[in-house]
């Protein structure tokens, strides 16, 4: 049931209410971190991708472009990111922004303020100079505070002031939420506000359906959807609030039928909200719906292969490892069921589906960040069961309250200390192993040998097998030696079958295919790929290319190669082409296939034998 007594402050001045004081404390913590880690480089990395729509519309005046040189110059000038991963080229030849446009809609008012300030104070009015970054800082602050305000409104529907205050502090200060309110205009910050707003408006719509709430709800869900498509899960609230058994489900259905015109209004507003995104996709891709990760089969949703255990408990980026306070939110679902069955189904479904979907992203650790950033926008929902847990706790004996208070304080301090460790480079934001975690636990500086305990950095371009081979041992060899080839020869007691690449053969007709899980048994392995080549004395020009690719569902998501000019190979002599490379991060180890092949790009003629992969595994 709703806590109707909690809907007012019972005569208490608003600035004296515990929940308002809690928000002010949260703001103080965020302000301190903003001061300690002050930066004016906010429009960078993923934020750049979400924000770039504003530059195209208001600065360039055209959302279409086939030449990305001007984007590359912006990235270099403002040190935005190490590569232009935020964009990719579609089949139409136009460059497409990988991320949807919802965040830019929320950023628009602040962008316009920054644009005006850039002109007044004579900065470059290009969307990326200092005034724009300050404007995005203001944007971050605005939506962080607005998110907390709406979360307070939501909590006050059910709980007393003390419960609301404690819950606000635990959600914002004790979890990893504060890390995304610190100079961070990321989509997670903005969606925290949107989720709180949608949930609050869903209750208002359920209590009193009308045009105003229908429009607000439809628009907010639309912007949420074109910020991150998985946010459509939030629709369970207007659909299932007050449903808890068969009778209530029938009543809810009848309620929806009675107010179907408001559903159509909300649906129409939703379509209006997402229409700019659909129009953009249609123009630059020729499709009304578009997957921004379609060019990379290695990253995306795989609902049949969730990483639930890793997502929740891994030391690499486990949600409950780096935000352990949220365990009490999950425990609160039990007390929610006991105290308020009318909302239990919708909240439990949302929490369960959200965790499942987020853990089904192939790159489940979501890059370098403090804890699981992907779930921060769902915290306004998790705050409600947290509130029920606190409400129950406050009815218990003093000893239990003291134990919880000590535990919550310890977990809060641990969270902030680990955030400090990441800022100091002590705790790695994405490569932590159990051994490294405990080696650096509560440490204020590194001794120097801890890096060996980290997971391998697959994105380090300077990593060479020759530098680390003493830490590895030979494991096995996988070779291609087709038995039906008529030509063969013996070398050192080993018979090799020989086949010939003709000018018309783009790829060699025999390809070494090995399931990924057969090659790699740990988190990674090194491959030494090789083949022996022999050419005749004829004059040829071009290069032979040894290529290693990773396939998922017949699509390539990783490609590495080495070229050998054919005129550098003496005629009539077998010469080996070798490539040493690190295994890639698989999308699905049990289904992915590694292929080693030769690419005859230049139409050459030569003989091949001994195509193989030697596997080296890290020492225990």
Using one digit for the tens of pLDDT, what is the confidence trace for 238-288?
Answer: 999 999 999 999 999 999 999 999 999 999 999 999 999 999 999 999 999
481 falls in which pLDDT band (50, 70, 90)? low
What is the spatial distance between Cα 76 and Cα 1, in angstroms, rounded to a whole number?
56
CATH 1.10.8 fits 465-618, yes or no: no
What is the spatial distance between Cα 248 and Cα 239, in angstroms, rounded to a whole number?
12
Percent of the residues in the chain that have a pLDDT greater than 90, as a whole number: 85
Percent of the residues in the chain that have a pLDDT greater than 70, as a whole number: 96
Please state the separation of Cα 72 from the chain's center in Å. Answer: 23
DSSP 233-299: GGGHHHHHTT--SHHHHHHHHHHHHHTHHHHHHHHHHHHHHHHHHHHHHHHHHS-SS--TTTT-TTS
3-state secondary structure of 574: coil
Q: How many CA atoms lie within 13 A of 166 on its CB side?
A: 23
Helix boundaries (H) for 94-245: 102-120, 130-155, 161-169, 187-207, 211-225, 236-240
Please state the separation of Cα 174 from the chain's center in Å. Answer: 22
508 falls in which pLDDT band (50, 70, 90)? confident
* Cβ atoms 30, 144 nearer than 8 A: yes
More confident residue, 422 or 14: 422
The domains of the chain are located at 4-423, 465-618
Average pLDDT of 145-154? 98
Work out the burial of residue 516: count CB atoms within 10 Å of its CB; fewer than 13 is exposed, 13-18 middle, 19 or more buried: buried
More confident residue, 558 or 489: 558
Query: Which among 222, 174, 544, 194 is positioned nearest to 328, based on CA atoms?
Result: 174
Average pLDDT of 294-316? 91
Token pair for 313? 């408990």
Alpha-carbon distances, residue 222 vs 7, 206, 290 (angstroms) = 29, 19, 16
DSSP 360-397: TBSSTT-SSSSS-GGGGGGHHHHHHHHHHHHHHHTTS-
CB atoms within 10 A of CB 79: 9
DSSP 431-451: ---HHHHHHSTT-SS--S-GG
- Residue 484's pLDDT is 53
Residue 2 has pLDDT above 50, yes or no: no
What is the spatial distance between Cα 529 and Cα 612, in angstroms, rounded to a whole number?
6
3 falls in which pLDDT band (50, 70, 90)? low
Averaged pLDDT score across all residues of the chain: 93
507 falls in which pLDDT band (50, 70, 90)? confident
What is the spatial distance between Cα 106 and Cα 220, in angstroms, rounded to a whole number?
10
Residue 542 has pLDDT above 70, yes or no: yes
593 forms beta bridges with: 515, 551
DSSP 78-100: TT--SS-TTEEE-TTS-EEESS-
- Residue 285's pLDDT is 96
**DSSP letter at 453?**
G
* Cβ atoms 576, 529 nearer than 8 A: no
* Cβ atoms 164, 6 nearer than 8 A: yes
187 falls in which pLDDT band (50, 70, 90)? very high
- Residue 386's pLDDT is 98
* Cβ atoms 463, 582 nearer than 8 A: yes
* Cβ atoms 411, 174 nearer than 8 A: yes
What is the spatial distance between Cα 87 and Cα 50, in angstroms, rounded to a whole number?
11
What is the spatial distance between Cα 28 and Cα 224, in angstroms, rounded to a whole number?
28
Contacts of 548 (CB under 8 A, 6+ apart): 527, 529, 559, 560, 561, 579, 581, 594, 595, 596, 613
Average pLDDT of 545-565? 92
Token pair for 396? 């218990």
Rounded to the nearest 10 degrees, the angle between the axes of helix 130-155 and helix 187-207 is 30
Residue 7 has pLDDT above 80, yes or no: no
- Residue 500's pLDDT is 85
More confident residue, 87 or 459: 87
Residue 346 has pLDDT above 90, yes or no: yes
What is the spatial distance between Cα 424 and Cα 435, in angstroms, rounded to a whole number?
19
For 371-380, write each residue's pLDDT tens digit: 999 999 999 9
Token pair for 32? 């301190």
What is the spatial distance between Cα 5 and Cα 537, in angstroms, rounded to a whole number?
94
Residue 6 has pLDDT above 80, yes or no: no
* Cβ atoms 410, 183 nearer than 8 A: no
What is the spatial distance between Cα 494 and Cα 245, in angstroms, rounded to a whole number?
72
């Amino acid at each position: 049931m709703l806590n109707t007594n909690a809907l007012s402050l019972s005569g208490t001045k608003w600035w004296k209410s515990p929940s308002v004081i809690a928000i002010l404390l949260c703001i103080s913590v965020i302000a301190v971190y903003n001061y300690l880690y002050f930066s004016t480089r906010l429009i960078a990395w993923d934020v750049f991708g979400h924000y770039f729509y504003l530059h195209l519309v208001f600065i360039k005046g055209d959302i279409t472009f086939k030449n990305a040189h001007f984007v590359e110059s912006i990235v270099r000038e403002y040190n935005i990111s190490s590569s232009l991963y935020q964009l990719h080229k579609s089949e139409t030849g136009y460059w497409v922004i990988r991320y949807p446009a919802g965040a830019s809609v929320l950023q628009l008012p602040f962008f316009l303020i920054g644009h005006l300030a850039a002109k007044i104070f004579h900065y470059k009015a290009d969307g990326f100079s200092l005034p724009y970054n300050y404007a995005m800082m203001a944007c971050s602050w605005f939506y962080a505070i607005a998110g907390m305000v709406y979360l307070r409104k939501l909590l006050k529907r059910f709980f007393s002031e003390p419960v609301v205050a404690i819950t606000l502090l635990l959600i914002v200060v004790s979890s990893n939420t504060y890390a995304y309110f610190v100079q961070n205009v990321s989509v997670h910050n903005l969606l925290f506000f949107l989720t709180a707003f949608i949930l609050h408006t869903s209750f208002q719509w359920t209590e009193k359906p009308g045009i105003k709430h229908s429009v607000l709800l439809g628009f907010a869900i639309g912007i949420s959807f074109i910020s991150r498509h998985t946010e459509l899960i939030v629709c369970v609230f207007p659909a299932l609030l007050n449903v808890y058994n068969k009778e209530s489900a029938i009543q809810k259905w009848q309620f929806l039928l009675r107010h179907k015109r408001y559903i159509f209004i909300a649906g129409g507003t939703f379509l209006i909200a997402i229409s700019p995104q659909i129009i953009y996709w249609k123009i630059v891709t020729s499709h009304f719906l578009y997957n921004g990760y379609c060019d990379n089969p290695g990253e995306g949703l795989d609902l049949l292969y969730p990483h639930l255990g890793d997502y929740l408990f891994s030391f690499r980026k486990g949600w409950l490892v780096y935000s352990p306070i949220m365990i009490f939110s999950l425990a609160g679902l039990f007390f929610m069921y006991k105290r308020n069955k009318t909302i239990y189904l919708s909240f439990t479904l949302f929490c369960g589906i959200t965790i499942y979907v987020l853990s089904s992203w192939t790159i489940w650790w979501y890059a370098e960040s403090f804890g699981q950033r992907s779930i921060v926008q769902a915290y306004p929902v998790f705050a409600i069961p947290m509130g029920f847990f606190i409400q129950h706790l406050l009815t218990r004996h003093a000893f239990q309250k003291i134990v919880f208070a000590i535990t919550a304080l310890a977990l809060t301090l641990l969270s902030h200390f680990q955030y400090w460790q990441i800022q100091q480079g002590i705790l790695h934001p994405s490569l932590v192993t159990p051994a490294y975690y405990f080696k650096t636990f509560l440490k204020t500086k590194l001794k120097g040998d801890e890096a060996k305990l980290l997971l391998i950095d697959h994105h380090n371009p300077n990593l060479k097998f020759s530098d680390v081979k003493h830490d590895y041992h030979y494991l096995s060899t996988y070779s291609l030696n087709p038995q039906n080839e008529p030509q063969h020869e013996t070398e050192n007691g080993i018979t090799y079958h020989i086949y010939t690449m003709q000018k018309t053969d783009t790829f060699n007709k025999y390809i070494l295919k090995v399931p990924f899980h057969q090659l790699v048994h740990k988190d990674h392995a090194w491959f030494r790929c090789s083949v022996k080549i022999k050419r005749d004395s004829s004059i040829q020009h071009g290069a032979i290319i040894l290529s290693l690719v990773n396939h998922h569902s017949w699509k390539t998501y990783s490609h590495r190669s080495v070229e050998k000019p054919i005129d550098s190979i003496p005629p009539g002599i077998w010469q080996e082409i070798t490539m040493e490379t690190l295994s890639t991060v698989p999308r699905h180890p049990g289904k992915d296939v590694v292929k080693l092949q030769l690419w005859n790009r230049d139409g050459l003629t030569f003989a091949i034998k001994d195509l193989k992969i030697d596997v080296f595994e890290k020492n225990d």
